[in-house]
């Protein structure tokens, strides 16, 4: 039993009042017992507030923009040095001005995100990205005075390492033309798609802008934006020569590299060696022609023949191969013939090389003093080690 004690309420009769009692659940009649009451959980104040706070997202994005921008400036300088070129910045400012501005704009963008909003922060971060964007590399300067040296095993190994370095080096993460850089770009592009599984503190429109923010860094300043350096040129020439097993009789090939008076390697070629040097022949090389275009540089393998004007070699080549176009130098003392080899069938290339060798074999031999062989003087350096020039 439940004992209830009644006490009269001294209230006017016109005032409504109620009586309530707390009865234990086991003493309550079955018909009057209601559903069991459970204690309500506390409101998820901390988790909801933390998930809706865009400050960590903005600070992390600003830090990534600053790191990627600095890393891009460093990798571009390395590529420009190896290709003997210069990468002009998109914003015409010196490097010592752009670096502080990049850091300041990144910090300002991270601060503006939680204060003024996501979109003003993206505008400032886009300015930081533009400070690290560069245009295609300029034309390398003309080769300085030097001499050609045979490429030794060190440079042949370095040319092969250059190919794999481009594919797997950490610097390739900011180059969309490499496998690592393409994977990096795909991860940024997939950022808006990840909102289906990750509860980001910003909306889908902000994720799309964040995904597009670093793409200019990945698409500019790539390996294809610069001319090929000596190591990459040597690798391309050796790969081309390695596919041509048979050569005309009396013709041999030798890889050579041009070293200037300061000991810097400027170019690489594959020299065609004949049994004897004809009078008037200056160059008979396999070379890589650097062709600029709007987005960078193309490399074209070609056969280069340089002769003295009105010499025996020049007359022999004109009679034997009139279809080869000839270009005279500015002073008219030399004649250049160039045969592109990229799309040329193997049989035609070998036939052309054999016809050139046969035509030059009928020329008188050049005297030793006129063969153009550089003497080993003090102004001519030996071929440096690849590590000495950053390879």
pLDDT-based confidence at residue 384 (cuts at 50, 70, 90): low
Comparing 238 with 375, the larger pLDDT belongs to 238
The Cα 85–Cα 113 span in angstroms is: 39
Q: Which two tokens stand for residue 354?
A: 């054999």
For residue 346, the model assigns a pLDDT of: 77
pLDDT confidence of residue 98: 94
Ranked by mean pLDDT, the top range of 108-112, 171-175, 223-227, 288-292 is 108-112
Confidence (pLDDT) at 184: 92
In the predicted model, what is the mean pLDDT of residues 123-145?
Answer: 88
Taking alpha carbons only, the member of 332, 267, 261, 329 closest to residue 299 is: 267
Weakest mean pLDDT among 114-118, 187-191, 333-337: 114-118
Q: Return the pLDDT at 378.
A: 40
- Tokens representing residue 77 in the block: 């300088």
Tens digits of per-residue pLDDT, 185-207?
Answer: 999 999 999 888 888 888 888 89
The whole-angstrom separation of Cα 132 and Cα 379 is 39
The arithmetic mean of pLDDT across residues 153-178, rounded, is 80
Residue 371 predicted with pLDDT over 50: no
Instruction: Quote the pLDDT of residue 12.
Output: 72
- Min mean pLDDT across 8-22, 145-159, 330-344 is at 8-22
Residue 103's region, left for phi above 0, alpha for psi from -120 to 50, else beta, is alpha
Q: For the chain, what percentages of helix, strand and coil (3-state, to nearest 5) are there?
A: 45, 15, 40
Q: With pLDDT > 90 as the criterion, what percentage of the chain qualifies?
A: 21
pLDDT of 52 strictly over 90:
no
Percent with pLDDT over 70 in the chain: 84
CB atoms inside a 10 Å sphere around CB 29: 7
Residue 45 pLDDT > 70: no
Q: Six-digit token pair at 146?
A: 């030097």
CA distance linking residue 339 with residue 317, whole number of Å: 13
Instruction: Answer yes or no: is pLDDT of 258 > 80.
Output: yes
| 50: pLDDT strictly greater than 60 | no
Taking residues 258-270, what's their average pLDDT?
84
Average pLDDT over the chain, rounded to an integer: 82
Question: Can you tell me the mean pLDDT for 91-113?
Answer: 92
> Which segment of 4-18, 144-158, 246-260 scores lowest on mean pLDDT?
4-18
Instruction: Average the pLDDT over 18-35 and give the result.
Output: 70
């Amino acid at each position: 039993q439940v004992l209830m004690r009644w006490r009269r309420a001294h209230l006017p009769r016109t005032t409504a009042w109620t009586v309530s009692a707390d009865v234990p659940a086991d003493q309550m009649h079955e018909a009057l017992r209601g559903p069991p009451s459970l204690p309500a959980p506390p409101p998820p104040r901390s988790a909801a507030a933390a998930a809706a706070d865009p400050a960590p997202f903005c600070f992390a994005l600003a830090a990534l923009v600053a790191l990627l921008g600095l890393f891009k400036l460093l990798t571009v300088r390395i590529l420009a040095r190896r290709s003997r070129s210069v990468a002009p910045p998109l914003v015409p400012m010196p490097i010592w001005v752009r670096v502080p501005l990049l850091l300041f704009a990144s910090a300002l963008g991270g601060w503006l995100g939680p204060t003024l909003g996501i979109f003003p922060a993206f505008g400032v971060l886009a300015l930081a990205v533009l400070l690290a964007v560069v245009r295609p590399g300029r034309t390398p300067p003309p080769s300085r005075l030097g001499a050609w040296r045979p490429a030794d095993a060190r440079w042949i190994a370095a040319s092969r390492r250059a190919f794999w370095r481009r594919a797997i080096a950490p610097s390739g993460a900011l180059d969309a033309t490499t496998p690592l850089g393409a994977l990096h770009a795909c991860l940024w592009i997939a950022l808006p798609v990840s909102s289906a599984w990750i509860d980001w503190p910003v909306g889908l429109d902000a994720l799309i802008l964040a995904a597009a923010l670093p793409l200019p860094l990945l698409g500019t300043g790539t390996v294809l934006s610069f001319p090929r350096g000596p190591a990459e040129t040597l690798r391309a020439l050796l790969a081309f020569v390695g596919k041509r097993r048979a050569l005309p009789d009396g013709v041999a090939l030798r890889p050579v590299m041009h070293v200037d008076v300061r000991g810097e390697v400027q170019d690489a070629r594959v020299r065609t060696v004949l049994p004897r040097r004809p009078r008037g022949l200056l160059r008979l090389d396999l070379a890589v022609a650097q062709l600029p275009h709007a987005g960078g540089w193309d490399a074209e393998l070609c056969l280069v023949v340089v002769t003295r004007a009105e010499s025996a070699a020049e007359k022999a080549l004109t009679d034997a191969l009139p279809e080869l176009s000839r270009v005279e130098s500015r002073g008219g003392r030399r004649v250049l013939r160039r045969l592109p080899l990229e799309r040329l069938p193997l049989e035609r290339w070998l036939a052309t090389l054999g016809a050139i060798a046969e035509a030059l074999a009928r020329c008188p031999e050049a005297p030793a003093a006129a063969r153009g062989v550089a003497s080993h003087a003090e102004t001519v350096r030996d071929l440096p080690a690849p590590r000495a020039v950053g390879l």
